[in-house]
Amino acid sequence: MSKRKDLIRTYDYFKTKSFYGIGQRKAKLFMNGLLKKLDSQIKTAPEDDQLLYRRNALVFLRGILECENCNINAKKYFNTDNFSYQDHNYNRKHALIHELLSVAQIIGLNYGYAKSNDPATKYIVYFDLPQTGDQVSFHSDIDQDKLNSVPAYNKEWDQMVNSSLRKIEKSFCMMFGEELKKKYKIAA
């Protein structure tokens, strides 16, 4: 099976079976609600560094999940008549990467770029996920202006293909899993 087909198969599975079996849609809705709750708590305790970190880590994880979804959807609709949808997803992915770079810096995550060997893109942008330190990466032609503020990535690629969704889920569940279980009454 090709890497692209395997990635799409994994994505289809994760849409319904991930995040303790509730699927990505409910998990994203949960993340949105939790973000509102954290924003409300921060209003009453704006100097609470732990609350700020949790909020920004949640923003990062929600964003990186969305980035991976855009990446997969662009590949899913590759070489179809729906070319504008593919372009839309790649454009959204690149915009999200720019946002994620800023959030990663704010919360002190390890991140950076490396030159790509793939002729279709110039760079690979790497992020180490909160709590786990697992690596996710995206091929990207990041803007030259933004590139000036991004460090070179200080690790080698982990050689794991089509693993981002699992890594993102693991990081999220380590940070927010107990709250998710409580909300959806999921047995441990």
What is the per-residue pLDDT across 142-170, written as a single tens digit (0 to 9) for each?
877 888 899 999 999 999 998 999 999 99
Per-residue pLDDT of 50-78, as tens digits, reads 999 999 999 999 999 999 999 988 888 77
Position 83 in a domain? yes
Q: How far is CA 147 from CA 39, 100, 150, in A?
A: 30, 13, 5
Average pLDDT over residues 3-26: 84
Question: CA 69, 140, 2 angle in degrees (round to 5)?
Answer: 60
Average pLDDT, rounded, for the chain:
91
Does 13 score more than 60 pLDDT? yes
Task: List the domain range (segments joined by +) for residue 178.
Answer: 3-183
Name the token pair of 3: 């890497």
Position 188 in a domain? no
CA diameter of the chain: 52
Q: State residue 82's pLDDT score.
A: 55
Chain centroid, CA 94 distance in Å: 12
Dihedral angle over CA of 141, 147, 150, 155, nearest 10: 50
Q: State residue 107's pLDDT score.
A: 96
Which tops the pLDDT comparison, 169 or 141?
Answer: 169
Q: How far is CA 91 from CA 85, 125, 141, 146, 172, in A?
A: 10, 15, 10, 16, 25
Q: How confident is the model at residue 119 (pLDDT cuts 50, 70, 90)?
A: confident
Number of domains the chain contains: 1
Name the nearest CA neighbour of 67 among 106, 39, 28: 28
Does 125 score more than 80 pLDDT? yes
Position 112 in a domain? yes
Q: State residue 136's pLDDT score.
A: 98
Per-residue pLDDT of 70-115, as tens digits, reads 998 888 877 666 557 888 899 999 999 999 999 999 999 999 999 9
Position 169 in a domain? yes
Identify the helix (H) or strand (E) that includes residue 125.
strand 123-128
Q: How far is CA 183 from CA 18, 21, 134, in A?
A: 16, 13, 26
